[in-house]
Structure 1
Amino acid sequence: MRIFISAGEPSGDLHGANLVRALTEKVPGLAAEGFGGPRMAEAGVQLHYPLTDLAVMGVRRVFRHLPTFLGLLDQAERRWRHKPPEAVVVIDYPGFHFRLAERAHARGLPVYWFVPPQLWAWQQGRVRKVRRWIDTVLTALPFEEAWYRRRGVSTCHVGHPYFDALARQSLDASFLREQEQRGGTLVGLLPGSRTQEVSANGLMLLHAAQKIKEQRRDVRFLVAAYRSEHAAYLRHLSARHAIPVEVHVGRTPEIIELSEACIAVSGSVSLELMYRLKPTVIVYRMSAPALWLARQLVHLPSITLVNLMAGERLYPEVVSSRDESSRIAEQVLAWLNDPESAHQLSLRLEQLRARVAQPGACQRAAEFLVQATAQRRAAA
């Protein structure tokens, strides 16, 4: 079995790697190639380009990399002419993957979307492209399957692969022990995995930490940086503003586990925060024009996956074009100063986790892809 798989963001790289491992268990001779990141490469994917290095948002940033994206589409077609895959699997990242799916479909290649784009949130008209170019959407969230099917899209609900990764996660015991021995009340700061998110939100998170520290001298702050360059930027900011935080790279799970409460930039990390039952303020800062546009295009009661799955606002949200560090600090202090309120939130998160955090998405997706490929072979 030969597949072409593409992921454009760090989370997609993780899910792609786990999917390829699940496929390899079922098809030992699996040949996988495509675009992605280091985790997919470790799982055995022959990477033709590190697409996760271009995890970009916004029209200007996309336009800057447009020649690269167009070149990658051409490169994929050359690979398909040389060795046609039996399945093309795309993971989230709709801007690029719609174009990739269009070209694959034009060549008669079956296309499957694993962790589909959240079209139900904004630009719902794009579902026409899904109907035209995607053979089956492997839905991740409980309500997605019905949403896509009502719009004429073939689906198979497999669940969210983030819970596969969490179920297998192993924490660094020495790091946990070292931090616990140092004492203090720990608060985690999670500034996002994209460079532009870190740039837009990093200083606001640090200001919130400073305001919390003024009220609670016992609090220590651990910052979870995704990349070393993010860590360097955040250390520079904290030193310039004299805000005492510790910045760590690659320690997101440990920092979440250690923290009494967290402040996190909106993203799939909210699922991990829910999984570990952590009271969290979800934030997202953007420019005033971007915020205005988002409010015209997005019509949802929440920006947070956890809240959407719960059907209620478990996690407070702060979405703004301004520094809202005072609001953020106030909420975190409320949890720290009233442990019972934090405990009650954790109990509600535990109930949600029991309902939705079921591992096995990658195994179910792999089984579907193997069966779909076998059916196509039999029909050929």
Structure 2
Amino acid sequence: MKYYILAGEASGDLHGSNLMKALLKEDPDAEIRFWGGDLMQQVGGTLVSHYKERAFMGFAEVIMNLRKIFGFIKFCKQDIAQFNPDVIIFIDNSGFNLRIAKWAKQQGFKTNYYISPQVWASRAGRVESIKRDIDKMFVILPFEKEFYLKYNYHVEFVGHPLIDAIADRKQVDIYAFREEHNLGDKDIIALLPGSRKQEITKMLSVMLSVIDDFPNYQFVVAGAPSQTDEFYQEFIKNKNVKFITNKTYDLLSLSSAALVASGTATLEAALFKVPQVVCYKGSWLSYQIAKRIITLKFISLVNLIMDREVVTELIQNDFTRKNLVQELNAILKGTKKEQLFLDYFELEQKLGGKGASAKAAKLIVKDLQ
């Protein structure tokens, strides 16, 4: 069978790579062509476009790059038509993928979606177009199945692929890792400022501003694979902070706390049982627009899944050095830290256990057969 997979961002690349491995187990002769990243490329198949070329964040940034985005859409349609796949598999990245899905369905292609667009967060009216354009939807958050049922759309809950990604990773040698990166013997506080230039620019400097308030800890910035080391050095300069790129899981596995940009990383930190403060700051325009269309009580996946405040969220004007210091102190010691561990274990149970990629692949291949 021929599979065309469309993924964006580092998280889409991770989940796409695991789905590709599972598809190849189910269908060893699978021919896969994809938009993704380095992890998907390591599995095999043919990389058409790297997600780094399409890393735009926020409403204002997207508007500024519309011509480039429409060029990618046009090229993608041409490439799909030429490849003529048995199924197109969309992974998250709704702004791009839903436009392709509408066209693909009109052309008669079979359409599957793995990791739902976050229509439960804003513009729920998109569910109607998803029902029209997507033949099968595989969701990874427990509340999504119930959400879609309200619109009479049956979807499959397969569990969250991060559980597999974390469970299957090679265990790090803590002492060797500390020595390799010259981390010393202090407890570590990880800084995860996101993967896109815009969010890193908005957040990393504020995160770094708390270092002097915690002299007994070693701060470490987790670099994203989508950015160069030189880009981070503009912010780090001569500060007493270490920088480690593309080893976020290893870093989280030995961190005492973390400051985390809202997104998938909040769930990753929780699954590693790391006490965290969730941070978000966008451009003024992007934030004003988002505030008016997003209907959620929370922005972090941890709180959304638990349907209550488990981790503190510092958003926009609340994201200040003073508030970060206060919240970091709270999660580094005392009853708040203990409660977080209990909540994290409950969260993991809600996510449905291992095997998300395998379940999705089995359902995709079975449908084709």
TM-score in same-fold range (> 0.5): yes
| 1:60-75 paired onto structure 2 within 5 Å | 60-75=60-75
Do the aligned residues in 1 keep the contact of 2:58 with 2:282 (CA within 8 Å)? no
SS in structure 2 opposite 1:124?
coil
Q: For 1:231 and 1:334, how far apart are their aligned partners in 2?
A: 32
| Structure 1 residue 360 corresponds to structure 2 residue 358 | no
Match of 2:328 in 1: 332
Do the aligned residues in 1 keep the contact of 2:195 with 2:227 (CA within 8 Å)? no
Match of 2:23 in 1: 23
SS in structure 1 opposite 2:253?
helix
| 1:285-304 paired onto structure 2 within 5 Å | 285-304=281-300
Match of 1:209 in 2: 211
Q: Which amino acid aligns with 1:102?
A: K
Q: Which amino acid aligns with 1:223?
A: V
TM-superposed deviation, 1:322: 6.3
Q: For 1:234 and 1:325, how far apart are their aligned partners in 2?
A: 19
Q: For 2:172 and 2:161, how far apart are their aligned partners in 1?
A: 22
- Consecutive unaligned residues of structure 2, counting only runs of 5 or more, are none
Match of 1:159 in 2: 159
Do the aligned residues in 2 keep the contact of 1:137 with 1:153 (CA within 8 Å)? no
| Structure 1 residue 227 corresponds to structure 2 residue 222 | no
Once the two structures are superposed, residues 234-278 of structure 1 have per-residue CA deviations (whole angstroms, 9 ceiling, x without a partner) of 333232xx5311111012112211111111001101111111111
Q: Which amino acid aligns with 1:368?
A: L
TM-superposed deviation, 1:42: 1.2
| Structure 1 residue 348 corresponds to structure 2 residue 350 | no
Q: Which amino acid aligns with 2:329?
A: L
| Larger mean Cα displacement after TM superposition, 258-267 or 48-57 | 48-57
Q: TM-score, normalised by structure 1?
A: 0.90
| 1:103-182 paired onto structure 2 within 5 Å | 103-173=103-173, 174-176=176-178, 182=184
TM-superposed deviation, 1:185: 2.2
Do the aligned residues in 2 keep the contact of 1:228 with 1:249 (CA within 8 Å)? no
Q: Calculate the aligned-residue CA RMSD, in Å.
A: 2.0
Q: For 1:289 and 1:79, how far apart are their aligned partners in 2?
A: 35
SS in structure 2 opposite 1:260?
strand
Do the aligned residues in 2 keep the contact of 1:198 with 1:230 (CA within 8 Å)? no
TM-superposed deviation, 1:74: 3.0
Match of 2:189 in 1: 187
| Larger mean Cα displacement after TM superposition, 177-186 or 256-265 | 177-186
Q: Which amino acid aligns with 1:184?
A: K
- Consecutive unaligned residues of structure 1, counting only runs of 5 or more, are 375-380
Do the aligned residues in 2 keep the contact of 1:195 with 1:230 (CA within 8 Å)? no
TM-superposed deviation, 1:325: 1.6
Q: For 1:178 and 1:279, how far apart are their aligned partners in 2?
A: 25
SS in structure 1 opposite 2:126?
helix
Once the two structures are superposed, residues 142-172 of structure 1 have per-residue CA deviations (whole angstroms, 9 ceiling, x without a partner) of 0101211221334111122122211111243
SS in structure 2 opposite 1:182?
coil
Match of 2:367 in 1: 372
2:316 to 313, 320, 323: 320
Residues paired across the two proteins, number: 367
Q: Which amino acid aligns with 1:369?
A: I
Do the aligned residues in 2 keep the contact of 1:86 with 1:373 (CA within 8 Å)? yes
Do the aligned residues in 2 keep the contact of 1:288 with 1:321 (CA within 8 Å)? no
Q: For 2:341 and 2:330, how far apart are their aligned partners in 1?
A: 14
Q: For 1:316 and 1:180, how far apart are their aligned partners in 2?
A: 31
Q: For 1:307 and 1:77, how far apart are their aligned partners in 2?
A: 37
Q: For 1:49 and 1:275, how far apart are their aligned partners in 2?
A: 31
Do the aligned residues in 2 keep the contact of 1:135 with 1:154 (CA within 8 Å)? no
Match of 1:53 in 2: 53
Do the aligned residues in 2 keep the contact of 1:131 with 1:153 (CA within 8 Å)? yes
Q: TM-score, normalised by structure 2?
A: 0.93
TM-superposed deviation, 1:335: 2.8
Once the two structures are superposed, residues 157-209 of structure 1 have per-residue CA deviations (whole angstroms, 9 ceiling, x without a partner) of 11221222111112432214657982112111111111111111111111133
Q: Which amino acid aligns with 2:308?
A: E
Do the aligned residues in 1 keep the contact of 2:159 with 2:353 (CA within 8 Å)? yes
Do the aligned residues in 1 keep the contact of 2:138 with 2:157 (CA within 8 Å)? yes
Q: For 2:262 and 2:172, how far apart are their aligned partners in 1?
A: 25
| Larger mean Cα displacement after TM superposition, 69-78 or 248-257 | 69-78
Match of 1:377 in 2: none
Match of 1:44 in 2: 44
SS in structure 2 opposite 1:120?
coil
Q: Which amino acid aligns with 2:265?
A: V
Q: Which amino acid aligns with 1:207?
A: S
Q: For 2:351 and 2:131, how far apart are their aligned partners in 1?
A: 27
Match of 1:275 in 2: 271
Q: For 2:288 and 2:319, how far apart are their aligned partners in 1?
A: 16
TM-superposed deviation, 1:34: 2.3
Match of 1:378 in 2: none
| Larger mean Cα displacement after TM superposition, 60-69 or 263-272 | 60-69
Q: Indicate how the Cα distance of structure 1 residues 328 and 289 shifts in structure 2: closer, same or farther if over 3 A, else same.
A: same
> Which segments of structure 1 move beyond 4 Å, counting only runs of 4 or more?
176-181
Q: For 1:3 and 1:164, how far apart are their aligned partners in 2?
A: 22
Q: Which amino acid aligns with 1:224?
A: A
